[in-house]
């Protein structure tokens, strides 16, 4: 997570503007943002305010337990519940005493509930703690007798990853269709990955990790099928700021923040991706990093990318829409933190097409998904969460 142009929050990462596909110009009007539209894409998006008053929101999460609650993560260390548009007065979780934010990309970065949460009543968080320069901690907590309150005394640390710098912490947590917990880590920070953590397989930095947290008697296990017999599932990432699995197909979409020129979206079909190398820092997007020529053999190249300019700076990954808006179904939504632009991405056979769908004034820090497959977006600046739709 770099922070280069505007006062950014966490993770923000680099400067960016579009390249992979033709973009339509958009204007914003009230609660909708309209573009020219293209075959297979809606002509505009709508943004319905759901809740406001959050401080530096970094994640929007559903427990998928039938309660229809949304959990909004605040970078400072609190998690608040939204139920029917009302924000809980008491936080679901408050670990602000454990969290460090000496760097703008540090803090409480994500929360995730396991598929069997209704039975196990445990959940997981990813944050930078008060050790060292602000190291990454992956913890498990239990819910108290009150379903709207976590039990702070139940904390168990699963993973602790030393960070060499205060940026590029990654932060994503997501359960895959295989039931395992996937974790996104950045390359450790500074510019250009000076320690080459992205390409090294003796460090957990610059990776997608996969661990088995199904046992309640130990912290985690290494799943069979992990390619290097450790936690690493995929590597060659700079700072994956949000990845997600399509709830219908199980496909994986990864938004990886670029350095000075390119933001990218990577893709893995369901059941694939073990040992995948996404290229950083040999590549930045589909271009050689700081070199005219480089070896691209064996690399997974992005299915979408955009180049810096026009106010873009840092990609924020979203979700494949599976809600009720027919014109959005099957479209992967992603945006840019600095410009507020939102794109849609869809695959037609072997071809990927992306289209600019909205030009907002939001500082897009995260997207979220509820139990019904509706997608939400957070404006980091105003602390407002919106439900995304289409006319």
Does some domain include residue 384? no
Does some domain include residue 255? yes
Residue 356 CA, chain-centre distance (Å), reads: 19
Question: What does the pLDDT read at residue 332?
Answer: 98
Whether 19 has a pLDDT exceeding 90, the answer reads no
Question: What does the pLDDT read at residue 2?
Answer: 52
The Cα–Cα gap between 291 and 305 comes to: 19
Question: What does the pLDDT read at residue 16?
Answer: 33
Does some domain include residue 113? yes
Does some domain include residue 254? yes
Does some domain include residue 119? yes
Quote the number of domains for the chain.
1
pLDDT (average), residues 161-183: 98
Question: What does the pLDDT read at residue 27?
Answer: 31
Whether 235 has a pLDDT exceeding 90, the answer reads yes
pLDDT digits (tens, 9 = 90+) for 300-349: 999 999 999 889 999 999 999 999 999 999 999 999 999 999 999 999 99
**Which alpha helices (H) appear in the chain, and where do they start and end?**
117-120
Does some domain include residue 40? no
Asked if 127 and 108 touch (Cβ cutoff 8 Å), the reply is: yes
| Nearest CA-CA partner of 299 in 316, 281, 315, 314 | 281
CB atoms within 10 A of CB 122: 19
Question: What does the pLDDT read at residue 233?
Answer: 98
In Å, the largest CA–CA distance within the chain is 60
**E strands along 78-194, which residues?**
78-83, 86-87, 93-94, 108-112, 122-128, 136-143, 150-161, 173-175, 181-184
Question: What does the pLDDT read at residue 37?
Answer: 64
Report how far apart, in Å, the C-alpha atoms of 194 and of each of 248, 281, 346, 379 are. Answer: 39, 9, 35, 32
The Cα–Cα gap between 231 and 320 comes to: 26
Question: What does the pLDDT read at residue 164?
Answer: 98
Residues of the chain with pLDDT > 90, as a percent, come to 88
Confidence of residue 366 (pLDDT cuts 50, 70, 90): very high
pTM score: 0.92
Report how far apart, in Å, the C-alpha atoms of 268 and of each of 88, 130, 272 are. Answer: 37, 35, 6
pLDDT (average), residues 131-157: 98
Q: Are strands 78-83 and 93-94 parallel, antiparallel or unpaired?
A: antiparallel
The DSSP secondary-structure symbol of 326 reads G
Q: Are strands 136-143 and 122-128 parallel, antiparallel or unpaired?
A: antiparallel
Does some domain include residue 386? no
Mean pLDDT, rounded, of the chain: 91
Does some domain include residue 205? yes
| Nearest CA-CA partner of 342 in 370, 371, 321, 324 | 321
pLDDT (average), residues 206-211: 98
Whether 11 has a pLDDT exceeding 90, the answer reads no
Whether 219 has a pLDDT exceeding 50, the answer reads yes
Asked if 223 and 213 touch (Cβ cutoff 8 Å), the reply is: no
Asked if 371 and 62 touch (Cβ cutoff 8 Å), the reply is: yes
| Nearest CA-CA partner of 210 in 227, 188, 186, 198 | 227
The Cα–Cα gap between 72 and 87 comes to: 9
CATH number of domain containing 70:
2.120.10.30
Report the phi/psi class of residue 82: left, alpha or beta, with left for phi > 0 and alpha for psi in -120 to 50. Answer: beta
**Residue whose token pair is 């350095």:** 259
Domain carrying residue 222: 53-313
**Residue whose token pair is 């496909």:** 251
Whether 3 has a pLDDT exceeding 80, the answer reads no
């Amino acid at each position: 997570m770099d922070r280069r142009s505007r006062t950014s929050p966490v993770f923000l990462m680099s400067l960016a503007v579009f390249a992979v596909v033709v973009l339509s110009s958009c204007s914003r009007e009230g609660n909708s943002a309209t573009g020219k539209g293209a075959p297979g894409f809606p002509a505009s998006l709508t943004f319905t305010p759901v809740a406001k008053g959050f401080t530096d929101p970094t994640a929007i999460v559903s427990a998928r337990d039938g309660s229809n609650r949304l959990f909004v993560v605040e970078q400072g260390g609190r998690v608040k519940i939204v139920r029917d548009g009302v924000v809980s007065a008491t936080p679901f979780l408050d670990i602000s005493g454990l969290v460090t934010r000496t760097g703008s990309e540090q803090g409480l970065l994500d929360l995730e509930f396991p598929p069997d949460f209704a039975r196990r009543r445990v959940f997981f968080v990813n944050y930078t703690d008060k050790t060292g320069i602000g190291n990454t901690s992956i913890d498990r907590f239990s819910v108290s007798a009150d379903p709207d309150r976590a039990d702070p005394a139940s904390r168990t640390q699963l993973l602790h990853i030393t960070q060499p710098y205060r940026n590029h912490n990654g932060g994503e947590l997501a359960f895959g269709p295989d039931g395992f917990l996937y974790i996104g880590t950045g390359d450790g920070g500074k510019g250009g990955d000076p320690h080459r953590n992205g390409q090294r397989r003796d460090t957990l930095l610059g990776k997608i990790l996969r661990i088995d947290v199904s046992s309640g008697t130990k912290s985690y296990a290494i799943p069979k099928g992990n390619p290097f017999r450790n936690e690493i599932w995929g590597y060659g990432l700079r700072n994956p700021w949000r990845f997600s699995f399509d709830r219908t197909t199980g496909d994986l979409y990864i938004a990886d923040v670029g350095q000075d020129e390119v933001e990218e979206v990577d893709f893995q079909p369901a059941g694939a991706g073990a040992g995948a190398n996404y290229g950083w820092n040999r590549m930045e997007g589909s271009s050689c990093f700081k070199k005219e020529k480089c070896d691209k053999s064996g690399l997974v190249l992005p299915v979408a990318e955009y180049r810096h300019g026009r106010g873009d700076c840092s990609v924020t990954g979203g979700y494949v829409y599976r809600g009720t808006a027919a014109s959005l179904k099957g479209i992967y939504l992603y945006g840019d933190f600095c410009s507020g632009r939102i794109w849609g991405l869809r695959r037609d056979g072997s071809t990927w097409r992306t289209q600019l769908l909205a030009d907002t004034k939001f500082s897009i820090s995260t997207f979220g998904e509820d139990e019904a497959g509706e997608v939400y977006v957070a404006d980091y600046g105003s602390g407002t969460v919106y439900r995304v739709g289409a006319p």
